Amino acid sequence: MALNPVTALLNPMSESPIGVFDSGIGGLSVLRSLHALMPAEHCVYWADSAHAPYGEKSEAFVRQRSLAIAQHLIDQHHIKALVVACNTATAATIHYLRQRHPQLSLIGVEPALKPALQLSRTQHIGVIGTRGTLGSDKFQRLLASLQDQAQFSVQACNGLALAIEHSVNPDAHPQASVQITELLGQYLQALGTFGTQAGQIDTLVLGCTHYVFVESSLRQLLGPHVHLVSTGEPVAKQTQRLLQAAGLLRSASQERAPTEHIRLMTNGDLAGLQAAANRWLGLPESACERADPQV
């Protein structure tokens, strides 16, 4: 169904897509959760891979990129909701996006400290994320608000998100998987001792959407008893709630195969996005395309 651009912008319809963006492929973990919960929805995903990872960029740069991508998704794809599938971009930009686009349903992600509190029995929680996320005012306020409820050990993981980006293209980056293992070992050791005994870290918050894709490696290093907490499912549920409240959910009877209504774009490594989309969402290469280089 063709949508009139002006009408779609001012009055989004249930047929309008959900916009999702991240600095690269990490947000595919959120997209996967969105599709699992709402398989009838159209989704347009923007990977800003030419500028990945955001977590090691300045806050001003991340804000500029986020605002530009959001405006493009609104103007060109007439989205009915926007999911900022990046912890760093959420911390740097969600307030500005809400000011600029008050008519749009906006959903961000943040390290899941509150859900982790419900899972932890030792009340010692580890948090891994990018330098940009963990150093942000938004995260520091969240952390301070919960300090009296548990002990939090926080570790910035420089280089890990980029290594995960590279891992989907082993021909170009043959050492990426080895680098991921080395970085995980280094950063987990820096956090402290993991386990279920008093004083040990029994819950680990994955404060970057990229990290979901190395859960198997984390599990091998941490064993079966440490809780791993990510944000994809809660973000999908919040998106569903907002769309339902606005009367913008597509009918379940409109459900189609994901190949028919998930569109992915990147301004970086197209082959990398195609490999990631195939590995983690089962999508064909044709679902991915070059993004507008002017954005």
Query: Could you tell me the residue ranges of all domains in the chain?
Result: 5-109+233-290, 113-230
Query: Which one, of 82, 135, 121, 91, lies nearest residue 242 by Cα?
Result: 82
Verify whether residue 288 is a known catalytic residue.
no
pLDDT band at 205 (very low <50, low <70, confident <90, very high): very high
Q: Which two tokens stand for residue 90?
A: 């959420």
Averaged confidence pLDDT in the chain: 93
**Cis peptide preceding 284, ω within 30 of 0:** no
Kindly list the distances between the CA atom of residue 32 and the CA atoms of 11, 68, 196, 228, 276, in Å, as whole numbers in the listed order.
27, 24, 30, 17, 12
Query: Which one, of 227, 231, 187, lies nearest residue 209 by Cα?
Result: 231
Q: Which amino acid is at 107?
A: I
> Rounded to whole angstroms, how far apart are CA atoms 31 and 26?
9
The fold for domain 113-230 equals: Rossmann fold (3.40.50)
User: Mean pLDDT throughout 208-226?
Assistant: 97
Contact 274, 288 (CB under 8 A): yes
pLDDT value at position 11? 59
Query: Pick the catalytic residue: 43, 157, 208, 288?
Result: 208
Task: Please tell me the pTM assigned to this model.
Answer: 0.92
CB within 8 Å of 84: residues ≥ 6 apart = 21, 66, 90, 93, 94, 97, 106, 107, 108, 109
Whether the per-residue pLDDT at 5 is higher than 50: the answer is: no
Query: Which one, of 141, 135, 138, 137, lies nearest residue 154 by Cα?
Result: 135
The backbone region for 204, taken as left when phi is positive above 0, alpha when psi lies in -120 to 50, beta otherwise, is beta
CATH number of 5-109+233-290: 3.40.50.1860
pLDDT value at position 78? 95
* β-sheet with 203-207: strand ranges across: 151-156, 124-129, 203-207, 227-229
pLDDT value at position 3? 43
7 against 175, higher pLDDT: 175
Strand 124-129, strand 105-107: pairing: unpaired
CA 60, 128, 90, 283 torsion: positive or negative? positive
Summarised one tens digit per residue, pLDDT across range 230-242 is 999 999 999 999 9
Query: Which one, of 229, 207, 29, lies nearest residue 134 by Cα?
Result: 207
Whether the per-residue pLDDT at 71 is higher than 90: the answer is: yes
5-109+233-290 with 113-230: one CATH topology?
yes
Cβ-based burial of 173 (10 A; exposed 0-12, middle 13-18, buried ≥19):
middle
Contact 272, 165 (CB under 8 A): yes
E strands, the chain, are 18-22, 43-47, 81-84, 105-107, 124-129, 151-156, 203-207, 227-229, 262-266, 288-290
**Strand, helix or coil at 204?**
strand
